[in-house]
Structure 1
Amino acid sequence: MQNRFWTIVLIVLVAPLPIGMWAAGRAMFFWWHGPIDPATPIEVAAAGDPPLVEQAGMVRIASSHALVGSSNSSQLDRKPEHEVDLDAFWVDIRPVTNDQFAQFVAATDYRTTAERRGSSLVFDLDRHEWLEVNGAQWDAPEGPLSTLAARGDLPVVHVSWDDAVAYARWAGKRLLSEAEYEVAARGGLMESTYAWGDQLHGSMPQANFWQGRFPQQDLGHDGFRGLAPVAQYPPNRFGLYDMAGNVWCWCHDWYAADYYFASPKQNPTGPLSGEARVLRGGSWLSTGGAGSELAVSARGHAPPHHTASNVGFRCASDRRPVQRTDFAATGSTTR
């Protein structure tokens, strides 16, 4: 009985020591390093699991707990800022290009929404306005007299949500959810405004977007007036290119302006129905003013049949991707 008594006493006296040592060490850490900067990348990987794995043109984003939306945006559909828990997923490093989409069409004889309709929206840089152009489609981006010659590495445009889903299924992939897109775009930056940080303009261009007075003049300070080939700007901290600017990207979700008030915390995928699908990332026509479409929290939307010269997509997957042999070919599409 006495041995048991002294054992209990010893446990009571010694047990607090590890807790105290942990607390002292934590206090010493913050005294030495200062408070954590919200722009510091967060750890999104489980213990012992590398945060980034690249394979077959995709990057693995480990399961994560993150904030999405914005608490200070002037755009009400970005509020409230809220927490999400996402399972691990794979995401394309770059948006789908004309060359890749051409391989899909060659393998399936698929006809896009714009081809079946006979027209699509083109932003005319000379007239400074949107035009419904007969014959504009993915392989004739400005109309019947245009081609994809020397444009194989540009992101495919004039694709509807249905076209993007069809390609993704053929490739053994899917579209990203809206929450996945935002978490991937942030690249581990907890509360940054853009995929690269809080400043729109830095020492070098970070994305392809409209500089100048819209729609009269695009100054082209980023190197392009119009679409740019993919991966012309630095990737974010997850190694992903063009998460902002160049082309809007279709997401899986239906759009609802008030969805964030009812969004589930675990793997949200949007409302069950709607009239428009979510678009993310902004485009070459996006400006950097208040409520910028280039912000990681920006939510675009359009009907699923919408096609335009600034809308494309990228894909995601729940499983480790396998390199398709028919993706090995390089060079510009001339179909």
Structure 2
Amino acid sequence: MDPSCELHTDVLLKPSGGAAGGVCWRDGVVTGLEASPGKSVPCIVPAFVDPHVHLILGARHAQRADFSNCRSREEFSRCLDMAHRDQPEGWLIGGGWDAGRLGLTPDRSWLESVGDRPCVLWSRDIHVAVVNDAVLSQLDVSPIQGGCFHRDASGQLSGRLEEAAAWHRLNPMIPEPSPSTDRLFVEHVVPLLHARGILAVGSMEYFRHVKSVLTQGVPGLDLSITLLDRSEEVDATSLREEFAQHVHLVLSGMKSFADGTLGARTAWMDTPWADGAPKGWPLDHTAEGTLASWASQVRSEALDPAVHAIGSAAVAAVLDAFETAGIDSGRVEHAEFVRDVDLPRFKGHWCS
């Protein structure tokens, strides 16, 4: 791009909304928002918008031990020992490990060096957790719909929890930071986003966290919130009224999970994996057969139904539900595997 330039557009997005306008800059610095008619582009935004983050969760993980660069069990163990030494009190929580990068999946034996201290290490996609014996001894490990407590070849619990086993059994046990601490973590992560040119995010959050941490807005960041809670458990109307007081906050949707992830091998596919692994399974409203009615209810609140769907069977199920509910502009998140026959069915929908 030229060191100095003027661009004109019919849609210049600013906090006050979108309207015709222009941008002038010189040497990478914006010098004005009024450009003479000239070169025109469809839309100008002030910075990158990341439409899919988990802001509070990500801010917490930025303060925790990071295993994302570990490429072997030895590197994993060194990272764990360092975290155990640097954060000696309370639960040891970290994440970011990737079974593909490690070459195998961690189990509870990898965590023995922390002793009797409860330890939880999340996978990179946050759909699998590995826990030690101190956590397993407190867990209800009876079968759970939509999840799995993995067992080894001898039938013993391996310490690996998948999907609902991690979300609905493990998560309620883990001590949460106080709202003031979460708020501080969020404020600390804003400069990291700015350094990457991100000034706005679409964040997936639980209602209780939005109420306690985000309702006053976050300086330097535009927030579009999609709620992770089941719709019958929240009062979207009152939250929207609170958001209306802040120009940088908007409540945009509610979310459901149709399946898991590729990394966890829990994405719901319509054919088996090439190595013979199972086809994954449906989750949440999709598993219950209530996705279409849920989507209708969300739309009746003037919100977007947003559904996580990675595997081809999950994507097809979401599109089926949107058609049944008469929704022509729903949000399909990820859509990493899609059957050819389903591609035309995305017309009008958002895919992120």
Q: Specify which structure has the higher proportion of strand.
A: 2
Determine if the TM-score, normalized by the shorter chain, exceeds 0.5: no
TM-score (structure 1 length as normaliser): 0.22
Structure with more of its chain in helix, by fraction: 2
- By relative contact order (CA 8 Å, sep 6+), the higher-ranking structure is 1
